[in-house]
Structure 1
Amino acid sequence: MEKQPKHSETADEILFKTKEWIQKAVIGLNLCPFAKPSFLSNTIRYTISNSQNTKELLTDLKSELNTIVSSDPLLVETTLLIHPYVLDDFLDQNDFLDEADLLLRQLDLEGIIQIANFHPQFQFADKQIDDITNFVGRSPYPILHLLREDSISRIVDTHPNIDSIFENNRKTMKKLGHEGWLQLKR
């Protein structure tokens, strides 16, 4: 079911909160050891979708996919498609990933672009909703993250132990706890 969240932030406020989340959580907690270079070099493209339904969001996603593949990676390494007005339920966003993957196939971008998701209600399938380890994927707004596959391959090839990231994130979040997460958001 799609409905508009009860917030009325401006695009600048949405962008500010998203960048603040990247700085404090993603980079600050080292949840993604690869985010800092892109953030500091300003090669993350931020797009705020005004979509009110999944059809509109698919149109915006298609546009962003075309933009990232036609852009120089030195200028646009990755894209965050922030969609605060649609898919405010995490399970709906998870279901939408099937449509996003279909779009990748239709555009012949499988193996070129990968789509990850972040959400205010992010939840691993094997975890309870309030499990602190879910917060690894919790963003201030629903987000589709478009990543270049060749960048991922380069990172995997150069990281000493790529499998350790997931476990390190779980440990970080457990150590931080719910109170620490709340403090981080201030």
Structure 2
Amino acid sequence: MNDTQFIEATMRWVDDIVINHNFCPFAGFVRQPGQIHCVVVNGDAGDVITSLFDECKRLDEQDNIATTLIIAPSSSTASFDDYLDVLAICDRMLSDWGYTGVYQLASFHPDYQFDGEAKDSVANYTNRSPFPLLHLIRERDIARYMKNEDDAEKIYTHNIAKANELGCPYFEKVLKEMRSAKNKNGL
């Protein structure tokens, strides 16, 4: 797959899974005006970290971008354990760079597994994506959205209920199609 195909498949996931099933209630607000920036990083963990820094700087300078998806399909993030190692370093780097309270990372991976959940639990699919992703989010946007939410926990409970309703076979099929780069335009 080339970078364009990775981005198109990822945005299809955003549209068909995240927004369509309301896994992130504020994703639709930034999707329509085109405020989601995507970048593909095919290098090693150092390249992912460098890209994270570059994307923080991009968000600093370009207020019209609400959020960034760093798509990292390389071998350094292929296994979920390796991905978690890279994620932990990236979280530390955000702090070291002075971005605590400015940006935060949300994590998504094809083999995502919540701590304490069985590997085949449908709950894991709320954070499973076609490729390893780091989602760089502006803290102020989260705070602004959450001001209108009575209970942040209801997002989580909605996501689990919806995942249970759809079931593992549904997610497996959709994610497999996205990974094979078959989008609505027939790529």
TM-score by length of 2: 0.89
Q: 1:97-112 alignment to 2 at 5 Å?
A: 97-112=87-102
**What is the aligned counterpart of 1:41 among 4, 9, 33?**
33
Q: 1:115-134 alignment to 2 at 5 Å?
A: 115-134=105-124
- Return the offset for 1:161: 2.6
1:11 aligns with 2:3: yes
The residue that corresponds to 1:6 in the other structure is: none
The residue that corresponds to 1:83 in the other structure is: 72
What is the Cα-based RMSD across aligned positions, in Å? 1.3
The residue that corresponds to 1:5 in the other structure is: none
The residue that corresponds to 2:131 in the other structure is: 141
Worse-superposed segment, 112-121 or 60-69: 60-69
**What is the aligned counterpart of 1:178 among 168, 174, 181?**
168
Q: Name the CA distance, whole Å, in 2 between partners of 1:95 and 1:50.
A: 17
1:50 aligns with 2:42: yes
Would the aligned equivalents of 2:114 and 2:124 in 1 still touch at CA under 8 Å?
Answer: yes
Structure 1 runs not aligned, ≥5 long: 1-8
Q: Name the CA distance, whole Å, in 1 between partners of 2:20 and 2:118.
A: 25
- Return the offset for 1:62: 1.1
- Return the offset for 1:98: 2.2
Percent identical among aligned pairs is 29
Residue 17 of structure 2 aligns with an amino acid whose one-letter code is: A
Residue 80 of structure 1 aligns with an amino acid whose one-letter code is: L
Would the aligned equivalents of 2:125 and 2:168 in 1 still touch at CA under 8 Å?
Answer: no
State the Cα deviation string for residues 95-141 of structure 1 (Å, max 9, x = none): 22221122112211111000111100001011111111100000011
Aligned length: 175
TM-score by length of 1: 0.89
The residue that corresponds to 2:61 in the other structure is: 70
The residue that corresponds to 1:59 in the other structure is: 50
Q: Name the CA distance, whole Å, in 2 between partners of 1:31 and 1:119.
A: 15
Residue 144 of structure 1 aligns with an amino acid whose one-letter code is: L
- Return the offset for 1:93: 1.4
